[in-house]
Amino acid sequence: MIYTILAGAGKGKRLNSFIPKAFVELKHKKLFLYSIEKFYKFSDKIFIAFPPKYVAKYEKILKEFSKVIVLKGGKKRQDSILKCLKKIENEGGIVLIHDVARPFVSDKLIEKVIRGTKRYGACIPVCKIPDTIKEIDKRFVKKTLNREKIYIVQTPQGFKLDLIKKAYSKVEEKKWEGSDDSFFLEKIRYNKIYCIDGERTNIKITYPEDLFFAEFLLTKWEKG
């Protein structure tokens, strides 16, 4: 069984949006729909976390997607993921965890994450950093970091269900905090998180200018 969890409960403050990020429109389509459509054929079930006051409305709207279950998100991203994991009764199979803020994930990348997860138990996509990286404190440079060992991490991230549930049970118990699901596997000392090459076009919509770039990409792809 392959499950997908879509994190879509963010408020979108950095996007300067008056509505939550998941519901921002990109080329006349709400952002979260790109992810649902992309993961639908790979998943037996999809759990999507929305801000609580939007759940009832979108449960009705998404009825045509029979695999999709809409849940109330938590205060933090990790709270939303935990709520979704608790709804998956099965301990076998794998789960893909993805941010709806990344609408351009490709079929090829999803397939690679699935293969890596089945083989290693955990798989994440990463990208090399082309720029010089410096650690800065109070506007002053402390040191230059070795960019050959530093990578940007993307989603979807894939995990065997029993493994990620074990990690998140510790998150709940120990009150750990993190912005990345694989971080919690590090915390339980799992040392086989397999890394595959991510995709430069798998951008995350975070700031207003990201929407302009996203629309540019869509227009370019539509024109071929």
Report how many domains make up the chain.
1
| Domain range for 180 | 2-223
The Cα–Cα gap between 130 and 151 comes to 10
Mean local confidence (pLDDT), 18-42: 94
The tens digit of pLDDT for each residue in 80-127 reads: 999 999 999 887 899 999 999 999 999 999 999 999 999 999 999 999
Query: For position 210, what pLDDT does the model report?
Result: 94
pTM: 0.95
17 backbone dihedrals φ, ψ, rounded to 5°: -100, 145
**Residues ≥6 apart with Cβ < 8 Å to 49:** 5, 6, 7, 8, 9, 71, 72, 73, 74, 80, 81, 83, 84
pLDDT at 224 over 80: no
The tens digit of pLDDT for each residue in 163-217 reads: 999 999 999 999 999 989 999 999 999 999 999 999 999 999 999 999 999 999 8
Mean local confidence (pLDDT), 23-39: 95
| Residues β-bridged to residue 137 | 140
Query: For position 90, what pLDDT does the model report?
Result: 81
% of the chain surpassing 90 pLDDT:
88
Residue 124: give its domain's CATH number. Answer: 3.90.550.10
45 backbone dihedrals φ, ψ, rounded to 5°: -150, 145
Query: For position 10, what pLDDT does the model report?
Result: 87
- Do 189 and 90 touch, CB atoms closer than 8 A? no
The tens digit of pLDDT for each residue in 138-162 reads: 999 999 999 999 999 999 999 999 9
